[in-house]
A and B are shown apart, each in its own frame.
Chain A
């Protein structure tokens, strides 16, 4: 078992900063949505940062991911630009999708983000195709398919993994088990406790890990990604986690028990990594504060950029329905 000791300080600090960036992005987006400055629905990733970050830390820009409705964290962890993300949330032409997609559809094909998705279970079949293309082209890329726990009850998820397993495609199926699909707890949506156990039915490895511990995620992802790159096929990684806010928006109307929410707040992935970093003297209170301050400024700058950006011209309504 690898420990934090063997992951170099630079990588750990990168992961810390990225998690802090996601948290800051999400809490800012949540507040802006509450003020109706962002239309539609925003699904915040706060609380689950360690999963996206621990996995994507292994990916090159050319590697691909498929994401979900709760996709901001995946996008930032994969190297997304927070300015263009906010511009998209504001529906501006400088946004990732020129204002046509919004929160649930952010994509950046240049850095392998094959799209957030408004359809639960929409990503897995696409991940099969991306992983197949990598194998076909022999380019050594992998595709990571992120889904929630709820999505594992969609047929698409099962079809995709069976297909990927059969052809030993370089795919990794990451389940962010935050124990709820919308407002219904996972134990009322399925009869098994460990979702990674489903791997047995596809003849592939499945691991369940502490999704609040970025180092545990990092190690599990390393193994799965190396395996995929070697041509040995997919792995299911289930990260045990929790969303800090309601299904959409911030905390209003959140039906989850107060004690449960408070208990998970004690397992904040950012605080957990900070503890490790302080123990190893990689981070001090002062240097941590500097990171937080830099991130706050970056996000504030992104908001200013997004606010200043123009709305798309109405003439764009009918463009890009097809390629020319």
Chain B
């Protein structure tokens, strides 16, 4: 409980990304009785990631369900109940587990509206946790957001900051389309200023996280934090990067990215997901198509190498993109040659 009063105290309140997600859930469940939550260990346990703590005691077992280990039924529950007017929020735990229920996602959820000639509405949210870094190996560490972005009919958000997590989940729950809310595990414990009460961040709007003149770094999820760390070291070298966090990947706010690139004339895209076919490829290709004349150097990309995520700490450390790699890539981009 805060004892100070007034808007300033509220604005300065710091909570974790996880708490921010939890607040948005509480707020939207309070606001709309059509919102319910379901997933493995979500109710009594409050989710193994902690996302739904306190929801059961506040809203009761009608509004939050522990489910069998049955991802097809869990995500199908979302599709069917959304078609019937509810606003489900379901969890697949690790994003890796979409493999189990990909038909429901790919062929049902994403396509019903269009296939039915527009006569359907699917106001649902799927919570999914992505990312490596915990020694969880190949089936619990992936970043599969690009796979989802490739499917017309789905929207995909991937916030990096606590406030955005709250604001975007609020929008996702109010959205009349299927939204994947992808949380990066390493973002979960990061703290940030998060407005109390209702807080909405619109889907499809990027954010300039840091201003700079020399190069634009478009980074997603935890890579925003790695880019911020790189930015400090680059500043010592006299290089000021502008960091753009798309926040929503589908639909993509290319305008904000283009505006930044037109200012800096150089661009690096960074994500943890494997580089080949990643969201960075799409962003880069749109930049080349729309702002080719503004570029002073070929666009650069950073992403995971072409392998599953390895277990051993020494290999996993090597696998993940980090501030050092971003630093070197920016130096090469701005100064040419090797970092």
Binary interface encoding of chain B residues 136-174 relative to chain A, with 1 for a CB under 8 A from any of its CBs, else 0? 111110000000000000000000000000000000000
Q: Is there contact, CB below 8 Å, between A321 and B308?
A: yes
Q: Is B130 an interface residue (CB 8 A)?
A: no
Among B40, B100, B134, B311, which residue has its beta carbon within 8 angstroms of that of A156? B100
Q: Within the assembled complex, what's the spacing in Å between the Cα atoms of A151 and B48?
A: 18
CB nearest to B309 among chain A residues: A100
Q: Are B40 and A100 interface neighbours, CB within 8 A?
A: no
Q: How far is the CA of A119 from the CA of B69 in the complex (A)?
A: 11
Which residue of chain A is the closest to B140 with respect to CB atoms?
A: A118
> Which one, A91, A182, A188, A321, contacts B314 given CB within 8 A?
A91
- Do residues B100 and A99 form an inter-chain contact, with CB atoms below 8 A? no
- B319 interfacial contact with A, CB 8 Å: yes
- How many A residues are at the interface, by size bracket? 35 or more
Taking a contact as CB atoms under 8 Å apart, the answer to whether A121 and B313 are in contact is no
A182 adjacent to B40 (CB under 8 Å)? yes
A316 and B315 within 8 A (CB): yes
**Beta-carbon contact of A184 and B314 below 8 Å:** no
A248 nearest CB neighbor, chain B only? B48
Residue B8 CB within 8 A of the other chain: no
Given A104-B140, A117-B139, A182-B45, 19 additional A-B pairs, CB 8 A: A39-B311, A40-B136, A40-B137, A41-B136, A99-B310, A99-B312, A104-B137, A118-B138, A119-B96, A119-B97, A121-B69, A154-B70, A156-B100, A182-B41, A183-B44, A183-B48, A311-B313, A311-B314, A316-B315
Q: Counting chain A CB atoms within 10 Å of each CB, which of B40, B305, B312 scores highest?
A: B312
Bound together, the chains give a CA A122 to CA B97 distance in angstroms of 10
Q: A153-B70, A183-B41, A317-B315 are in contact. Are A119 and B139 (CB under 8 A)?
A: yes
The size class of the interface chain B forms with chain A is: 35 or more
List B29-61 residues whose CB lies under 8 Å from chain A: 40-41, 44-45, 48
- Distance in Å: Cβ of A89 to nearest Cβ of chain B: 9
Closest to A97 in B: B311
24 of the cross-chain contacts (CB-CB < 8 Å) are A41-B136, A41-B140, A91-B135, A91-B312, A91-B313, A100-B137, A101-B137, A102-B311, A104-B140, A105-B137, A105-B138, A118-B96, A118-B136, A119-B100, A155-B100, A156-B100, A182-B41, A182-B45, A183-B41, A183-B48, A189-B66, A189-B69, A255-B44, A321-B307
Q: How far is the CA of A189 from the CA of B40 in the complex (A)?
A: 10
Minimum distance in angstroms from B243 CB to a CB of chain A = 27
Q: How far is the CA of A46 from the CA of B250 in the complex (A)?
A: 45
List A contacts of B311 (CB < 8 A). Answer: 39-40, 88, 91, 97, 99-102, 105
B115-143 CB contact bits vs A (8 Å, 1 = yes)?
Answer: 00000000000000000001111111000
A91-B135, A105-B138 in contact; A312/B312 too (CB < 8 A)? yes
The A interface, classified by DSSP as helix, strand, loop or mixed, is loop
Instruction: Verify B68–A311 contact, CB threshold 8 A.
Output: no
Which of B140, B315, B319 has the largest count of A CB atoms less than 10 A from its CB? B315
| Cβ–Cβ contact A39 & B313, under 8 A | yes
Of all chain B residues, the one with the shortest Cβ separation from A149 is B69
Please tell me if the beta carbons of B307 and A317 are within 8 angstroms of each other in the complex: yes
Cβ 8 A contact of B135, one of A102, A153, A182: A102
**Which residues of B come within 8 Å of A, CB atoms?**
40-41, 44-45, 48, 66-72, 96-97, 99-100, 134-140, 305-308, 310-315, 318-319
- The answer for the CA separation of A120 and B66 in the assembled complex, in Å, is 16
Chain A residues within 8 Å of B66, by CB: 184, 188-189
Pick the contact of A155: B70, B97, B140 (CB < 8 A).
B70
Whether B134 and A99, one on each chain, are in contact in the complex, defined by CB atoms closer than 8 angstroms, is no
For residue B72, give the distance in angstroms from its CB to the closest CB of chain A: 5
Residue of B nearest to A318 (CB): B307
Q: How far is the CA of A175 from the CA of B89 in the complex (A)?
A: 31
With an 8 A cutoff between CB atoms, is A239 at the interface?
A: no
Chain B contacts of A255 at CB under 8 A? 44-45
Q: Give every chain B residue within 8 A of A184 (Cβ-Cβ).
A: 40-41, 44-45, 66
A-side contacts of B72, CB under 8 Å: 155
Verify B45–A190 contact, CB threshold 8 A: no
Hey, which chain B residues are within 8 Å of A314, CB to CB? Answer: 314-315, 318
Q: Given that A119-B99, A182-B40 are known contacts, is A100 also in contact with B315, CB under 8 Å in the complex?
A: yes
**Quick one: closest A residue to B97, CB to CB?**
A119
Within 8 A of B (CB), among A308-324: 311-312, 314, 316-318, 321
Q: Which of B134, B306, B318 has the most CB of A within 10 A?
A: B318
Asked if A150 is at the interface (CB within 8 A of a chain B CB), the reply is yes
Q: CA separation between A105 and B136, bound complex, in Å?
A: 10
Q: What is the bound-complex CA distance between A318 and B135, given in angstroms?
A: 17
Is residue A79 contacting chain B, with contact meaning CB distance below 8 A? no
